[in-house]
Structure formats: structure tokens, C-alpha cells
Amino acid sequence: MNALIDYTLHLADNALILGHRNSEWTGHGPILEQDIAISNIALDLIGQARNFYQYAARLINDSTLQGAKAPSPGGEGVGGEATEDTLAYLRDVKDFKNCLLVEQTNGDWAKTILRQFFFSAYQFYLYQHLQHSKDETLAAIAEKSLKEVTYHLRWSSEWVVRLGDGTEESNSRIKKAVDDLWVYTDELFEAASFELLATNEGIAVDLSLIKNNWLKKITDIFDEATLRFPSREGQAVRWNGKDGKHSEHLGYILAEMQFLQRAYPNNYW
């Protein structure tokens, strides 16, 4: 049960944090059509996060009622009950289990696009396998979300090609984005302890099954965009977001995202 809760929170946190990052573009996109597109992707991701948080809250509350020792993810509401809101708004930085990639700053349009492309390719293959999970709820969420992620991947792929094989300026910007973000992609496929446990139970996805597909997709799009893989030399990241060890950026995200709930606790609007 503990591994299932942690894994569900991991999936929720990834979607929420990237959704929040993308929402920062609303009203600031390069053109109206793409402003709407990135805002809709943000809404899709936050919708996925809600589904996962609702399930995690139910698992936590059921474990408590049954007298089992559930993990303490933080964010317990009134009476110690967990809800989707408390899990999103009342947990601290160290309690979040999202990958470091999704919390990285937006930067310019090229960096935002590449971050979305890397993560959407990962989500696409992850959800393809997750829809066959032994856990029926996770499988159902994955199946429903896969339709959205398919669009996210197509949209971001087209933009990577457009920027890479475009002007000298756009090519320079997307190359810089690759140099900035590539180092964070390793973590996507490095299983945390809760992922290993959940995989052994037939709940989570064995990340080794999707890594080659992800790499092939990245390679195909990079070739079309005339981009090369950067050198990893000297770029090792020595912390892991899945274990609650985050970059400084997540703290700023949570300070903004959680302000109203923490300033006016237990209010609804």
C-alpha cells in the first residue's frame, strides 16, 4: 500500500508542477494560438494531477481507517484527512516526489518547448504501459490521459523541429535549451525505491521497458531538427527529486501556488 501511495503521488506531482510551470505562459505566449495551446496543455496536466491526487487521498484515508501505517506525505487537512487540495497545497518541498525536469524554469519559448517534449515523450510511453497496471484505477487514469499526452507529444515535437530547423536564432535557442535540460533526463529512468516496490507488485511501469523507445523518439525528432545530443561530461546531477531532493526552483513554485491556501486555511472558493 505504501509503495502504491508514493507512486501515485509521484505521478500527481509530476503533472501538477509541469502544469503550473506551463500556466505561467498564459497571456505571454509568442502568438495567441500558441498561448492557448500551452494553456490547454497546462489544464490537461492539472486535470491528470487531480485524478491522481484524488486516488492518493482515498488510499491514505482508507489506510488510516483500517489502522494500517500509511506513509506520512504531509498535507493532512482538518481531522487528519487527506484530500486532493491538501496534498497539493499543504505539503512542503521535501514531500514532493516530482522529477527535477518539470520544475526547471520556463526560460524562453525554446526551453519550455523542449522541457515539454522530453516529458511528453516520457509520459507517452509510461502511460502506454501503465494502462495495463494491476491497479485498475491507475490503469484507467493512464488510459484516459494518454489521449491528451499524444497531442502534447505531437505539438511539442513539431515545435522542436520548427525551432531546430528554422532560423539561426531559433536553432541557437533550442541548442541552448538542450544543453540546459538534457542533464535532467537521466532521472526519468532511475527508479526510486517506491517505484521498484510498485513495479515488483505489478503496479508501476518498469522504466527499463520504456527508455529505449524514449531515446528513439528523441533521436528521430533531433535528427529532423538538425540537433545533436550534448556531452554529459561534468553535468551529473547529484540529487533526486523523486526522493524529495529538489532544486531551488520548486520552493518558489510552491510559495506562489500554495499562498492562498496557507494564508486562508480550510477555505473553499
- Where residue 254 falls (left for φ over 0; alpha for ψ -120 to 50; beta otherwise) is alpha
User: Residue 269: pLDDT above 80?
Assistant: no
Helices (H), 131-264: 136-164, 168-181, 193-200, 208-224, 248-257, 259-263
Q: Given pLDDT bands bounded at 50, 70 and 90, which one contains residue 71?
A: very low
Whole-number pLDDT of residue 30: 81
Whole-number pLDDT of residue 29: 78
136-155 pLDDT tens trace = 999 999 999 999 999 999 99
CA angle 118, 121, 124 (to 5 degrees): 145
Identity of the residue numbered 28: H
CB atoms within 10 A of CB 172: 12
Q: Are 138 and 203 contacting, i.e. CB atoms less than 8 angstroms apart?
A: yes
Q: How far is CA 248 from CA 93, 135, 212, 251, in A?
A: 10, 34, 30, 6
Whole-number pLDDT of residue 233: 55
At a CB cut-off of 8 Å and minimum separation 6, what does 223 contact?
none
In angstroms, the CA 5 to CA 60 distance is 7
At a CB cut-off of 8 Å and minimum separation 6, what does 186 contact?
237
H or E segment and range at residue 118: helix 109-130
H or E segment and range at residue 2: helix 2-23
Q: Given pLDDT bands bounded at 50, 70 and 90, which one contains residue 266?
A: confident
The domain locations on the chain are: 2-263
The least confident of 22-26, 71-75, 179-183, 184-188 is: 71-75
CA angle 204, 38, 232 (to 5 degrees): 60
Whole-number pLDDT of residue 235: 60
In angstroms, the CA 195 to CA 177 distance is 29
DSSP letter for 107, please. -
CATH assignment of 2-263? Answer: 1.20.1260.10
CB atoms within 10 A of CB 266: 9
